[in-house]
Amino acid sequence: MKIICHMISSVDGRLYPSRWGSPQEPADITTLYEGVAKRFPAQGWIVGRTTMSDYCDEVKEGDPAPLRDADAPQSPAFVGNREGRPIAVAIDPKGKLLPEINALPTGEHLVLVLGARVAESHLEKLRAAGVSYVFEGEGGSNREKLAPALKALEDLFGAKTLLLEGGGIINGAFLTAGLIDEISVIVYPGLDALFGSAAIFGVKAQENQLPGAGAHLKLLDNETLEGGAVWLHYNVKND
């Protein structure tokens, strides 16, 4: 599976458009972002739990789901009634999301990536709502957790390419797992400038650690867009 991290940021790499200064020339953020996204032949997209709950009012966030006993067998993945729709994947290892629908208002079928020990009682609620789910791997590293989930998404949903469109934490998890194949960034002509404001990648690490050093970029394409925004498209070679 190919993972393309597709994002739009301010000139200083920040993620919250409500904080950005306005450009001298008009440029609609949504039009810019979705216009470039359509260039990629993806079967869906991936975000984190918080982004999904913010994106859709019918996907509410609650308390963590109960866990099954360690000696209880793990339930299999579940495929709801997709009806040929693209998929919208939310990484939700603690089972906090409680969707009321199985298709988003924008048309995508909802798929959750859950922790391996989420209890059957929570899975029953998801099945009743027609929401699909797969499971993370049980290893300790981001790659050991995410790679099995991506394989399940490919095997069960035919997803060959997915757009990673999360916040800094989930994007950082994929980056440190070595699972990002390409990066597509639209640099919007505005500034945030607040110290510590969320960026495209946000890996919690010590100052002497270099979480991005293992990803080596090669420019594939660049283009000036409406209003002076700039699109940068990179191939990623991971160590």
Going from N- to C-terminal start, the domains of the chain cover 1-43+160-239, 46-141
**Any idea what DSSP says for residue 195?**
T
The per-residue pLDDT for 163 is 98
- DSSP E strands, 84-146: 87-92, 97-99, 109-114, 132-135
- DSSP string covering 145-164: HHHHHHHHHHHHH--SEEEE
* Tokens at 25, concatenated: 């020339």
| pTM for the predicted model, two decimal places | 0.95
| pLDDT computed for residue 227 by the predictor | 95
d(CA 75, CA 135): 9
Q: Give pLDDT, residue 207.
A: 84
pLDDT of residue 139: 85
Q: Which amino acid is at 104?
A: L
pLDDT along the chain (239 residues), means of 10: 98 96 94 97 96 94 92 91 95 96 96 96 96 94 96 97 96 97 98 94 88 95 97 97
Q: Cα–Cα distance between 65 and 123 in angstroms, integer? A: 9
Predicted local distance difference test score (pLDDT) of residue 212? 92
- Classify burial at 157, counting beta carbons within 10 Å of its beta carbon; exposed 0-12, middle 13-18, buried 19 or more: buried
The CATH architecture that domain 1-43+160-239 belongs to is 3-Layer(aba) Sandwich (3.40)
Q: Supply the pLDDT for residue 155.
A: 97
Judge residue 223's burial from the number of C-beta atoms within 10 Å of its C-beta, 0-12 exposed, 13-18 middle, 19 or more buried: exposed
Please list the alpha-helical segments (H only) found in the chain.
29-37, 49-55, 120-128, 142-157, 168-176
Distance CA 53, CA 101 (A): 12
Cα separation, 64 vs 4, whole angstroms: 29
